[in-house]
Structure 1
Amino acid sequence: MTEPATRRTGPLSFVRRGGRMSDGQERAWRELAPTYVFDVPRDVAETSVHPDARFVPQQEFGRVAPLVVEIGTGQGHAIIHAATEHPETDFLAVEVYHGGLARTMLDADKAGLQNLRLIEANAPEVLQTLLPEASTDEVRIFFPDPWHKKRHNKRRMISPGFGAVVGRAIRDGGLLRLATDWEDYALQMREVLDEEPEFERAFDGEWDDRFAGRPMTAFERKGLDKGRDIRDLTYRRIAR
């Protein structure tokens, strides 16, 4: 008899960070998670997504509105800013850092946000099965793990085939926004997405202008202070 699988076999491009949470972060998970966190049915791993699970935006937000998904939200600074500035749009944060999600919930509660939900799960699985096809107006991936050691480059999220993964969830004409402070990753992103049949460039020249909707965070400032250039890319989903 075949033993059931106990490890995921699909793409995984992160190392999960733990660490002790503060009392406030613990409170966030205890008191705020029922409001903000979508309880993901799991498959074989802690951050996996059961293939039959679905996140239906209209049901979760109680309305029909544009949906923006941010992958790797960290402490939530960018998505909290965006959700505050655009109450007419719904936002979905995808992150595996438990403490970061707690921080995001605390800030969302402080701001009184009703247009934000959080998912603690492996992003490719969210894009491949959890979100309905063509349900998302925009996907944002700001400063993904660069896996800067050459032997680890294969773990980068934006690699050949990613266009089909993310393109499944984005509606025709929707946008994919990217930013990184690692030059070789930026070059890889551009090379990969220029070849993906699901996308076309939505910018002129070598790089896109800095996305005005992204607030300057301590993380981005740290990269600038180290002399790294921030490179933005924007791609448009080609009609199916």
Structure 2
Amino acid sequence: MSEGYQEALRQRAERIVRLREWQQEHLARAERRVLEIGCGHGHFLTTYATANPEQSCVGIDLVTKRIDKGNAKAEKRNLGNLRFLKAELSEFLEALPEGLLFERVFMLFPDPWPKKRHFKNRMLQPAFLERLAEITTADADFCFRTDHEGLFAWGVEHIEASPQWAIKADAEWPLEERSYFQDLMDSWQSLIAVKA
């Protein structure tokens, strides 16, 4: 094993320790938790947290500037139930303490990775759906939205194949919040899955 690879593993392990500490500090005492994966600048989750003060909401993203903008929104609105965190999804999920469960998870407009050779990079995969089932409450739902037809079909296919999740065709989207980013799109498709 090369030194560079060993160093990368060491840094990853350190990030997971820091994430677990953050989760313990900010999420462990909450009774109801909501997660947004790929929160961008936090437009949607800020509105959602404002409308749902009884839920502790956390948004994660990889881009520092987005996280800074999200936290600035939360601070400006004095939302004690909202936090944004720079984190890679697999590390965030690996760091979760046992028993820390989410009642709702949003994945809005993720990168569609449209080329077939890149499908392996799509976040919505069988292993993700398995892990999602482990870190959510019995009555949890997973809210997925995309403007990419191929990615939506992929999501439907994978969720329908999952023994842990079922698409709830008549489910109403929890909150509509138009954002600058969403307004640039011609259309999008949404689905809500519940624990099977």
Q: TM class, shorter-chain normalised?
A: 0.7 to 0.9
Number of residue equivalences: 194
CA contact (8 A) 1:95 1:121 kept: yes
- Alpha-carbon deviation of 1:132? 3.4
**Following the alignment from structure 2 to structure 1, what is the Cα–Cα distance between the partners of residues 59 and 152?**
22
Q: Of 218, 221, 227, which aligns to 2:180?
A: 218
Report the CA distance shift for 1:163/1:152 in structure 2 as closer, same or farther (over 3 A).
Answer: same
Amino acid aligned to 1:74: G
- Alpha-carbon deviation of 1:52? 8.8
* Structure 1 residues without counterparts, runs of 5 or longer: 9-42
- Alpha-carbon deviation of 1:108? 1.0
Q: Percent sequence identity over matched residues? A: 24
**Following the alignment from structure 1 to structure 2, what is the Cα–Cα distance between the partners of residues 215 and 86?**
14
CA contact (8 A) 2:34 2:58 kept: yes
Report the CA distance shift for 1:237/1:115 in structure 2 as closer, same or farther (over 3 A).
Answer: same
**Following the alignment from structure 1 to structure 2, what is the Cα–Cα distance between the partners of residues 154 and 47?**
26
Q: Is the radius of gyration larger for structure 1 or structure 2?
A: 1
The alignment status of 1:7 with 2:8, answered yes or no, reads yes
Q: Give the match for residue 38 of structure 2.
A: 72
**Following the alignment from structure 1 to structure 2, what is the Cα–Cα distance between the partners of residues 118 and 166?**
19
Amino acid aligned to 1:147: W
The alignment status of 1:127 with 2:93, answered yes or no, reads yes
* Structure 2 residues without counterparts, runs of 5 or longer: none
Report the CA distance shift for 1:161/1:69 in structure 2 as closer, same or farther (over 3 A).
Answer: same
**Following the alignment from structure 2 to structure 1, what is the Cα–Cα distance between the partners of residues 105 and 88?**
15
CA contact (8 A) 2:144 2:191 kept: yes
The alignment status of 1:148 with 2:149, answered yes or no, reads no
Moved more, 147-156 or 187-196: 147-156
Residues 173-192 of structure 1: per-residue CA shift (max 9 Å, x gap): 21111000000000000100
Report the CA distance shift for 1:118/1:46 in structure 2 as closer, same or farther (over 3 A).
Answer: farther
Q: Give the match for residue 140 of structure 2.
A: 174
**Following the alignment from structure 2 to structure 1, what is the Cα–Cα distance between the partners of residues 154 and 41?**
26
CA contact (8 A) 2:16 2:94 kept: no
SS, match of residue 20 in structure 2:
coil
More strand by share: 2
- Alpha-carbon deviation of 1:136? 0.7
- Alpha-carbon deviation of 1:113? 0.8
Q: Give the match for residue 24 of structure 1.
A: none
Alignment of 1:46-61 (within 5 A): 48-50=15-17, 53=20, 55-56=23-24, 59-60=25-26
The alignment status of 1:83 with 2:84, answered yes or no, reads no
Q: Give the match for residue 12 of structure 1.
A: none
**TM-score normalized by structure 2?**
0.87
**Following the alignment from structure 1 to structure 2, what is the Cα–Cα distance between the partners of residues 47 and 223?**
39
Amino acid aligned to 2:11: V
Report the CA distance shift for 1:63/1:47 in structure 2 as closer, same or farther (over 3 A).
Answer: closer
**Following the alignment from structure 1 to structure 2, what is the Cα–Cα distance between the partners of residues 78 and 92?**
12
SS, match of residue 39 in structure 2:
coil
Q: Give the match for residue 73 of structure 2.
A: 107
CA contact (8 A) 2:74 2:83 kept: no
**Following the alignment from structure 1 to structure 2, what is the Cα–Cα distance between the partners of residues 52 and 92?**
12
**Following the alignment from structure 2 to structure 1, what is the Cα–Cα distance between the partners of residues 104 and 144?**
11
Q: Of 134, 145, 150, which aligns to 1:184?
A: 150
CA contact (8 A) 1:127 1:168 kept: no
CA contact (8 A) 1:128 1:166 kept: no
